[in-house]
Amino acid sequence: MGIRDQEPSLETMALNDIHTPVLLERCIELLAPAIQKPGAVLVDGTLGMAGHAEAFLTRFPDLTLIGLDRDLDALAIAKQRLAPFGDRARFVHTVYDGIVDAIASQGLSEVDGILFDLGVSSLQLDRVERGFSYSQDAPLDMRMDATSPLTAETILAEYREGDLRRIFENYGEEKLAARYARAIIAARQIEPITRSGRLVDILQEATPGALKNAGHPAKRVFQALRIEVNQELSVLERTIPAALSSVAVGGRIVVMSYQSLEDRLVKRAFAQASASTAPAGLPVELPEHKPEFKLLVRGAELASDAEKALNPRATPVRLRAAERLWKPAAPSGTKRSARGSGE
Residue numbers belonging to the annotated binding site for S-adenosyl-L-methionine? 50-52, 69, 96, 117, 124
Residue numbers belonging to the annotated binding site? 50-52, 69, 96, 117, 124
CA distance 145 to 194: 19
Q: Is the dihedral of CA 119, 123, 129, 135 positive or negative?
A: positive
69: Cβ contacts below 8 Å, ≥ 6 apart: 46, 47, 48, 75, 78, 91, 93, 94
Number of helices and strands in the chain (H, E): 14, 7
| 58-62 long-range Cβ contacts below 8 angstroms, 24+ apart | 59/28, 60/32, 60/35, 60/36, 62/37, 62/38
